[in-house]
Structure formats: structure tokens, C-alpha cells
Amino acid sequence: MWSPQQPASSIPIQIIAKTASFASIASPPTPAMAQPAAPAPPMSTPESATATESSPEDALSEESLNDFISSLPSREGWPQPLIQYKGYWFKPRMLEGVLRTRRAFLPRADDVVLATQPKCGTTWLKALAFTIANRSCHGLGATDHPLLTRHAQHLVPFIEIPGATGGDDHINLGALPSTRLLATHMPMSLLPPETRSLGCRVVYLCRDPKDTLVSRLHFENKLAARGGGAGLSMDDAFGLFCEGFSPYGPFWDHCLEYWKESLARPDTVLFLKYEEIKLDPARVVRRLASFLGVPLTEDEEGSGVAEEVARMCSFETLTGLEVNQVGGVSHGNRVHVDNSVFYRKGEVGDWANHMNREMGVKLDRIVEEKLQGSGLVF
């Protein structure tokens, strides 16, 4: 624990330590980050742009959870049927996690939540935030740095996807020390209401919808092939996506909720785009460090820390690590995802290699209409 007067370089940090190689780094073996310089004040007024109110189903017992999910609208189309809840589409197991999170997860005022839609740069954001927050106790570039020895997905636990940290045991989020660095794919409106009322910090990362769709399709088809199922064609996936029918979709609603929240609460919600990280990663490192309450010192600026963090977390560095090419992540002990699946190309504009110009224009037009008047553009 540190006080706001302490320099960032002296902040003690704790991390996930589920393997013997981490046992000597921190105790207890859990993921955490440096505390922000000053926790944001609780939001006690209804000025938030996105309602995150409680619902009757938040009190569902475990026994009645499946019955409730079975009563919801469902639709075929993707390799797995999707279920609609509160205007969004989810895979059944993911919806179970969302509902359990709303029922049991207890936010803390100093929590930091990294929010994304799938395939919008989740792994990259986890790597950047973890490295920035823990730079005081893990030398950048050190051979034993956790980012170089573990998959970035394993270093920041999801609040609604148990078991997605590379081990057999689920992490007890309630037992983690503050400040917790957490992740989610949930829409803003489905996060526990206390996330807003307590002033938890949220970093949202979005991506051009065309590149998101291409990456999503490749990911889903790899999962389907691993399970012996059939994948989707680009034409089919494109049609579904344009209807707003995709896992955690509609895409535009998900983005818009966090965008509006970032305008209403800029001190506690930071909105980033994948493309701006690609354009100037060092600049985003500085923005993230300031937002997390651990800004770069003058010495760090002079020694090129921002550039080194960007290099360590780059697509080229991470894809070249053996740890990111072997093993995998288990989601709830039912779905196993190979580590390599989380890295494809990481390019901006790759959609042009997978869909024609007319498709790109159509999707751009749909998204523009959905976001009209919000100030958010892609």
C-alpha cells in the first residue's frame, strides 16, 4: 500500500502468482496494481450517461439461473446459438458469467476495469496496463518479467469469465488485494451498479468495426474447428454483424455506452481506440499511466520508459514469445482456447483483404447511422 505522496518508483505491487516461479515475487499470490494517486469520488448523482441499475434477476439462485436463461430469446447463426439479454447477445456460458457477476461481484472504489468487446485489442490492453501499473517492481525487459513468462490474458482476470487465467483453479476476486486490475467484455449497462456509484476507473478500448468483424470471424471459426464444428463464411458473418447480431453485440451499442460514459465521467472512464495505440503507442502509455494514477516521472521520461513499455507490449514482441505460442486458456473449465489464437495479425485495415469495398462501405454507413449525433466516429 502506498500513499499519494509516494513516487511511482517506490510503489509496492502484487501480481498473480499461480506458478512456483511467481511464489517469491508477491504474497499473497494475486493480481494487483499500484494504487491510484487519489481514488475518484463516488458518483452520487444520476448524471451517468448509462444506467447500471439492479434487476430482479440479480437475486436469482444458482438453481434458477439456468431456468431463467432458458426463458430468454435465442437465435442460431454463429457456431453457438446466442441468447439475448437486456438488448445484447451472449453465448450461454458467457451469459451465466454475466448474471453471476451482477449477483455476486463486489466492486471496490479503487478497482480498475479494462473493458473491451472481444477481438478489439483485449490482450494488448491487458499487457499495457499490467506493465505500466507494475513497472516499479518488475524491471522493463527483465528476463523474468511476468509479461515475458506468462500470457497477458493470464495476468488480468476477467470478472465474468472464471478460469480464464491459464490455471485450473478459479481466482477468488474477493480475496485479491487492492488495487485490483480486472477485465470485462460486459456492456457498461450490465456492470454492477456499484462500479459507477463508487467511481471505479474504467478503461475502454474499441476498434474499427470492419477489422473487429474479421478478427472475430477468424477467432470463432478456430474455436469451431477445435470442437469439430463448422465455421461461418464472411458473407454470413457480415450479414449477422450488420444486424447487430454477434457475441456481446450490437457492436455499436457496446461502444456507445462506454463513449457516453467517458463524456459524462472523464475522470473515471477513459475511452481509447485500437488505431490510436497503433499510431503512437508511447503517447497512449503516458495517457494510461496518468489515468491509472502512476504517471511517468521526469527520470522515466528521460530514460524512454514510455517507448520501452510500448516495445515490450508490441505485437512483434509478444508473438515472438514461446509462452504465447504454447498452452492455452480455459474458460470455465469447459472451453479451451490456445494461447496462439489470441494473436493473429494485429493490423489496421486488414479487413480489405477479407471483404470487398461494397461491404466495407455498407458497414461504415450502418455504424455511422447508429452513432449519429454522439460525436463518436470510426
- List, for residues 192-220, the tens digit of each pLDDT value: 999 999 999 999 999 999 999 999 998 88
User: Is 70 exceeded by the pLDDT of residue 66?
Assistant: yes
- pLDDT value of position 248: 96
- pLDDT value of position 140: 86
Cell of 71: 426463458
Among the residue ranges 165-179, 220-234, 297-311, 324-338, the one predicted with the least confidence is 324-338
- pLDDT value of position 335: 53
pLDDT in tens, 304-355: 999 999 998 888 888 767 665 655 555 444 555 554 444 456 677 889 899 9
d(CA 360, CA 242): 11
One-letter amino acid for residue 304 of the chain: G
- pLDDT value of position 250: 98
Who's near 273: CB < 8 A, 6+ residues apart?
205, 206, 207, 378
d(CA 79, CA 219): 11
- pLDDT value of position 139: 79
Confidence of residue 33 (pLDDT cuts 50, 70, 90): low
Q: Is 146 helix (H, G, I), strand (E, B) or coil?
A: helix
Higher pLDDT, 53 or 324: 53
- pLDDT value of position 328: 55
SS (H, E, C) 293-343: CCCCCHHHHHCCHHHHHHHHCCHHHHHCCHHHCCCEEEECCCEEEEHHHHC
- What Rg value do the Cα atoms of the chain yield, rounded? 20
Contact 102, 87 (CB under 8 A): no
Q: Which residues are catalytic?
A: 185
H-helix segments, the chain: 62-70, 92-104, 122-133, 146-149, 152-155, 194-197, 209-226, 234-242, 251-264, 274-279, 281-291, 298-302, 305-312, 315-319, 357-370
CATH superfamily of 8-370: P-loop containing nucleotide triphosphate hydrolases (3.40.50.300)
Cell of 196: 459507477
pLDDT in tens, 81-115: 999 999 999 999 999 999 999 988 999 999 999 99
Contact 194, 184 (CB under 8 A): no
Contact 92, 80 (CB under 8 A): yes
- pLDDT value of position 163: 63
Region of residue 244 (phi > 0: left; psi between -120 and 50: alpha; otherwise: beta): left
Domains of the chain by residue range: 8-370
Candidates 1, 21, 20, 22; CA nearest to 10 is 1
pLDDT in tens, 3-29: 333 333 333 334 443 322 222 223 233
* Beta-bridge mates of residue 335: 331
User: Is 90 exceeded by the pLDDT of residue 64?
Assistant: no
Helix axes 251-264, 209-226, angle to 10 degrees: 130
Average pLDDT over all residues of the chain: 81
User: Is 90 exceeded by the pLDDT of residue 190?
Assistant: yes
- The fraction of the chain above a pLDDT of 90, given in percent, is 56
Cell of 186: 460486459
Q: For the residues 233-238, what does the mean pLDDT come to?
A: 95
- The fraction of the chain above a pLDDT of 70, given in percent, is 77
Length of the chain: 378
Confidence of residue 281 (pLDDT cuts 50, 70, 90): very high
Confidence of residue 154 (pLDDT cuts 50, 70, 90): confident
Candidates 363, 117, 158, 362; CA nearest to 249 is 117
- pLDDT value of position 19: 28
Contact 354, 163 (CB under 8 A): no
Confidence of residue 272 (pLDDT cuts 50, 70, 90): very high
